[in-house]
Chains A and B, each alone.
Chain A
Amino acid sequence: MSLPFHTPHDELIARLVPFVVAPPFNRLALDLAPFGLPIVDEHVIDPLKLSSEQFLTLLQRLDGLTFGPEGMPMPRWVFYDCAELPAAIFGFALRAADTDPRLAAQYPVPKGYAGLVPVSMWAGLPMFRPGHWFGHNLSSLAPVADRVAPGMSLKGLGSVTKALGMKALRVRRLYGATQWASAALFIHSKFGPLELVTAYTPAHSEAETLTYAFDATDESLRATLGDPKARLARPEPSEWIDAHDTATLMRLQDRIEAGERLCIPTAPRRDGERPFVPVAPLP
């Protein structure tokens, strides 16, 4: 299976199986062939069914492998109440028989299991306005694969999953939250300039969290997937923010609360161990 346009991730997409987790009453709201990539019926997992238990357990383990080290794993009830039941999850999997034993051992995949082993997922929740979503989980096994199975690269899996997941869930404007120092900001900024909704967020587990938003177009999704024909306009940065400088983040937040509109125009850069994030004014 492949996309109708060329990307550097074609080989990766070809060897993985796309899946969706959604109850039957949410299916009609989804695009089950995002950019023409078909998600077959068998791989649309119904979270209300007893038979889905094992796959959903592996999905939760994938989240644990991704966010456990950051101290923000998703409790099982949150998976159900805040993703599987009200909305949907999109991701990629390997068939159990095709899964490298070194990767399988990380979950661990039970002996005799013959279903899909999820290696990535993107989950979000619909917001009040049609087509507006809040993305709250992007998990990828790529960093684990690099560590335990170096020959088996899953490079680019996070970006591919998020872009195709947004297409499958028919996202038109996406909101998200991430930490200023998070490597995930490199992925999020691929979609284009990120409008800053908050710069310092005490309501979150980590106050040094930013909330971003951007309009999702086919152009921005294709650009993220690596389609060389897709190009996005980005303003020049006017300042670079030290991701660990809390006082500056609080001042940025004050400016936003006062009505100033700012964005993150491009990917962060690293100066040694310290990440610096570009900021630019929005008209």
Chain B
Amino acid sequence: MLYRYARILDHCEPYLIATDLIASELNAAPLGVRVPTENRINPQHRRHAEFLQQLRLMDTLCFGPSSLEMPPWVFYDCAVMPGAVFGLGTRRADLEPWALEAMRVPANYDGLVPLSMFIAIPMLPGHDPLSRAPGTPPSTWLVYTLDSMNEVAPGIGPAGLLHLTLALGLRVFPIRTLYATTQWRNPKLAHYVELGPLELATAYTPAHTMPRTLTFRTPIDEERLASLLMRPATHPLAPPANVVVDVDDVANLRQIQRELESGVRYELVGAPEARGTYVQAPMVRTTAEGRR
């Protein structure tokens, strides 16, 4: 399944940032792409400080323009302590001079340069967490960061970097139910939707910095993971849309949110598409009595 991504695998190496508390529980060879020992980063060890600084710079470049940059304490407290970070990176020799400058790679740095990242943390289960059988991993996870440098500097890394990072990241963690948050206009939504229909938990989220954020969940299984890599023209699990939503129409998003709160179900079944200035998201709306 990875033949389409050979160029990435020729030029990039996977890395995994995980403390000793979780590292042995994760799959360090997703789809056979083994994370080299030297790229297994313990964020609590001093010798990895330079790599973490480089990752911090990448986060600033990717999220700074949206004011969603992650303060370092959040990276520590809310990413690598409860969960872990997976990503792909490259060596400075594989980066053109403009790319080194864009990523502010110090002249004396010869370590791995991160180009993408995927952060997942466990969520509370829908039951008493202490009733989970010993040795059973948490099944519900939240992905709140997925990015690649290509999104802000197209061409800095091989094409498809974000997509492969998502596909491999979902196999690193034992995720059975995936939750994620992203903004309606974020092109990354198109990648997630290739997993299959995404059930909305929120359509409009005032609790977030950017209220035009959606929260969604989807089961993760082999069929969905395979679909993400194969990218079929029509997703086998996605029914045809019965509603198309203008994702910049706040009044409409709030109305959908009110409906969600009253028990109406919404699923995003395709990537939002821009038509002129209007970005439209195909959805399936289902009431208690059946589809609209």
Residues of A within 8 A of B (CB): 22-23, 25-26, 28-30, 47-50, 52-53, 56, 72, 74-82, 84-88, 125-134, 136, 170, 172, 175, 177, 197-198, 200-206, 209, 211, 250, 253-254, 257
B106 to chain A, nearest CB (A): 15
Measured between C-beta atoms, what is the minimum distance from B290 to chain A in Å?
23
Contact A80:B44 (CB < 8 A) given known A203-B75, A203-B76: no
Residue B125 CB within 8 A of the other chain: yes
Does B207 lie within 8 Å of A78, measured CB to CB? no
Contact A203 B261 (CB under 8 A): no
Chain B contact-residue range equals: 35 or more
- Does chain A have a CB within 8 A of B275? no
Known pairs A77-B209, A87-B123, A170-B128; A125 contacts B73 (CB<8 A): no
Cβ B22 vs Cβ A86 within 8 A: no
Cβ contacts under 8 Å, A77 to chain B = 68, 208-210, 213
A205–B209 Cα gap in the complex (Å)? Answer: 21
Cα–Cα, bound, A86→B178 (Å): 11
Q: Which of B108-116, B197-205, B219-227 contacts A (4 or more CB under 8 A)?
A: B197-205
Q: Of all chain A residues, which has the CB nearest B82?
A: A125
- Contact present for B206 and A50 (CB under 8 Å): yes
B77 and A257 form a contact (CB under 8 A) = no
A29 touches B127 (CB 8 A): yes
The 4 closest A-B pairs by CB, nearest first: A82-B78, A202-B49, A136-B77, A81-B144
A86 touches B127 (CB 8 A): no
Pick 22 A–B contacts, CB within 8 A, sort by A. A48-B261, A50-B261, A52-B206, A53-B206, A53-B207, A75-B68, A77-B68, A78-B70, A80-B209, A81-B142, A81-B181, A86-B122, A125-B77, A125-B78, A125-B121, A125-B122, A128-B83, A129-B21, A130-B138, A170-B130, A205-B72, A211-B44
Residue on B nearest A71 in the bound complex, by CB: B71
Chain B residue, CB-CB nearest to A124: B82
Classify the interface of chain A: helix, strand, loop or mixed.
mixed
Add 10 more A-B contacts to A77-B208, A254-B46 (CB < 8 A).
A29-B127, A50-B261, A80-B213, A82-B78, A127-B21, A130-B129, A130-B132, A172-B130, A203-B76, A211-B44
The answer on a CB contact under 8 Å between B144 and A82 is yes
A85 touches B126 (CB 8 A): no
> Is A76 within 8 A of B209, CB to CB?
yes
* Contact B207–A72 (Cβ < 8 Å): no
B150: interface (CB < 8 Å): no
B209 interface neighbour in A29, A75, A126, Cβ under 8 Å:
A75
Question: Residue-by-residue, is B128-163 near A (CB-CB < 8 Å gives 1, otherwise 0)?
Answer: 111010100110001010000000000000000000
Please determine whether B121 and A86 come into contact, CB atoms closer than 8 angstroms: yes
Residues B126 and A72 in contact, CB atoms below 8 Å apart: no
B141 to chain A, nearest CB (A): 8
Instruction: Give Cα A207 to B123, complex, Å.
Output: 28
Name B's A-contacting residues (CB within 8 A): 21-22, 25, 43-46, 48-49, 52-53, 67-68, 70-78, 80-83, 121-130, 132, 134, 137-138, 142, 144, 179, 181, 201-202, 204-210, 213, 215, 254, 257-258, 260-261
B81 touches A86 (CB 8 A): no
A133–B123 Cα distance when bound, in Å, is 11
A85–B78 CA distance with the chains assembled, in angstroms: 13
Q: Is the CB of A29 within 8 A of B77?
A: no
Q: Which residues of B contact A172 (CB under 8 A)?
A: 130
Q: How far is the CA of A76 from the CA of B213 in the complex (A)?
A: 12
Contact between chains at A177 and B76 (CB < 8 Å)? yes
Within 8 Å CB of B72, what residues of A?
203-205
Name the residue on A nearest B204 (C-beta).
A50
From B217, which residue of chain A is reached at the shortest CB distance?
A: A25
**Given A26-B126, A202-B52: A80 touches B258 (CB 8 Å cut-off):** no
Chain A residues closer than 8 Å to B137, beta-carbon distance = 128
Do A128 and B204 contact each other (CB < 8 Å), given the known contacts A28-B128, A29-B124, A48-B215?
A: no
Shortest C-beta distance, A162 to chain B (Å), equals 15
Query: Would you call B142 and A86 a contact (CB within 8 A)?
Result: yes
> What residues of chain B lie closer than 8 Å to A26, measured between beta carbons?
123-124, 126
| Neighbouring A residues of B260 by C-beta, 8 Å | 48
Contact across chains for B207 and A29 when beta carbons are under 8 A apart = no
A84 CA to B124 CA in the complex, in Å? 11
Q: Is B207 in contact with A79, judged by CB distance below 8 angstroms? A: yes
- Among residues of A, the one whose C-beta sits closest to the C-beta of B132 is A130
- Contact, CB under 8 Å: B124 / A204: no
Complex contacts, A201 vs chain B, CB 8 Å: 44, 76
